[in-house]
Amino acid sequence: MSISPASLPLNADLHCHSVVSDGTLTPEALAQRAQANGVQLWALTDHDEIGGQQRACAAAHANGMDYLTGTEISVTFADNTVHIVGLGFDADNAQLQHGLALTRGGRGARAQEISRQLGEVGIHGAYEGALKYVGNPELISRTHFARHLVEIGECRDTSEVFRRYLTEGHPGFVPHRWASLVDAVRWIRDAGGMAVIAHPARYRFTANEEFALFSEFKRHGGEGVEVVTGSHTPAEYKIYTDMAHEFGLAASRGSDFHSPDESHTDLGTLPPLPEGLTPVWEKLDHRIQRRPA
């Protein structure tokens, strides 16, 4: 007896990155890979940038997938960087575009300072080295520096880079002020989309700070949280299932795929959401851009 497809959970992957931010694949190559892995509903969520959305939607449809618009906004909350995913917004919304442009704005000067610090520990020319990996001149990120440090043999892989460089207490860490939580949530909501807390287990918050993040996020109109992500362990799926219930948030699922060579979680390969949660795509049904019949 075969299982009816209707009884299977939807394979939705609502978090990944292309060359438009710090991924290594084009939106078209990501769409093909997602489709090959069985993804049915897809969103490209480049950091602080929606320049790849039209291409991603067209490629999703060409590969028989439904599409939700996406982005991942860098936010400063309680002196930490938090990521807020936006889904299902109108990509032509001027306020959202303007807010994202402002958020991207400081990256050039920050990259120069990262490079200067690396020069102080004997790693010269890192800015130029990182630029070789940059697909979007407005979006130079630590990931591009990490790829350069691996290329020159300073570290074995990008995980080692983030243990030894670019993070707090290590050379190449440059504190940066990103968007505020209230602005990021407002830009997404006013553009008709849903704000989702990305990979909450990744933040080094105390229990009080995490409670404050979820409370303020909710108060400002945030509606979702990533429960099943490439950044969480199965034990963390359970913790954030409970948080979703406690705060009345819908749940999202996404690999956070960046690159075939670097990402340990491929598109569309995570387990389904735990039973009893409201998937974000149910609340965003009216925002899904359906594949042609």
* Of residues 253 and 279, the one with the C-beta less far from ligand AMP: 253
**Residue range at the interface with ligand AMP (CB under 6 A); choices 88-96, 121-129, 157-165, 212-220:** 157-165
Sign of the torsion angle spanned by Cα atoms 170, 201, 83, 258: positive
Torsion angle of alpha carbons 279, 268, 161, 108, nearest 10°?
A: -70
- Please pick, from the candidates 53, 93, 136, 143, the single residue that binds ligand AMP as defined by CB under 6 A: 143
> Which positions from 72 through 101 interact with ligand AMP, judged by CB under 6 A?
74
Residue 205's binding partner among ligand AMP, Mn ion, none (Cβ under 5 to 8 angstroms by kind) is: none
Cβ atoms of 241 and 274 closer than 8 Å: yes
Q: How many residues bind ligand AMP (CB under 6 A)?
A: 10
Looking at beta carbons only, is 176 or 291 nearer to Mn ion? 176
Report the nearest approach of ligand AMP to the CB of residue 120 (Å). Answer: 19
Give the number of C-alpha atoms closer than 13 A to the C-alpha of residue 15, restricted to the C-beta side: 29
E strands within the chain?
Answer: 12-13, 41-42, 66-67, 70-77, 80-87, 194-197, 224-229, 250-254
Residue type for 171, please?
Answer: P
Minimum distance between the CB of residue 159 and ligand AMP, rounded to whole angstroms?
Answer: 5
| H/E element, 33 | helix 27-36
Regarding 35 and contact with ligand AMP (CB under 6 A), the answer is no
Q: Of 5-13, 91-99, 156-164, 244-252, which segment contacts ligand AMP by CB under 6 A?
A: 156-164
Cβ proximity to ligand AMP, 159 vs 215, nearer residue:
159
The count of C-alpha atoms lying within 13 angstroms of the C-alpha of 141, restricted to the half-sphere facing its C-beta, is: 23
Residue (53 or 143) nearer to ligand AMP, CB: 143
Q: Give the one residue of 18, 40, 141, 263 binding ligand AMP; rule: CB under 6 A.
A: 141
Radius of gyration of the chain (CA): 19
Q: Which is nearer to Mn ion, 205 or 285 (CB)?
A: 205
What is the Cα–Cα distance from 176 to 182, expressed in whole angstroms?
Answer: 17
Find the shortest distance in angstroms from Cβ 162 to ligand AMP: 3
Residue closer to ligand AMP (CB basis): 10 or 29? 29
DSSP SS3 for 13:
strand
State yes or no: residue 159 binds ligand AMP (CB under 6 A). yes
Cβ neighbours, 10 Å, residue 153:
7
For the chain, give the number of residues. 293
The residues binding Mn ion (CB under 5 A) are: 22, 72, 83, 198, 256
User: Least distance from C-beta 113 to ligand AMP, angstroms?
Assistant: 12
- Cβ nearer to ligand AMP, comparing 33 with 47: 47
Angle at 72 between CA 33 and CA 154, to 5 degrees: 75
Contacting positions for ligand AMP (CB under 6 A): 22, 47, 74, 141-143, 158-159, 162, 258
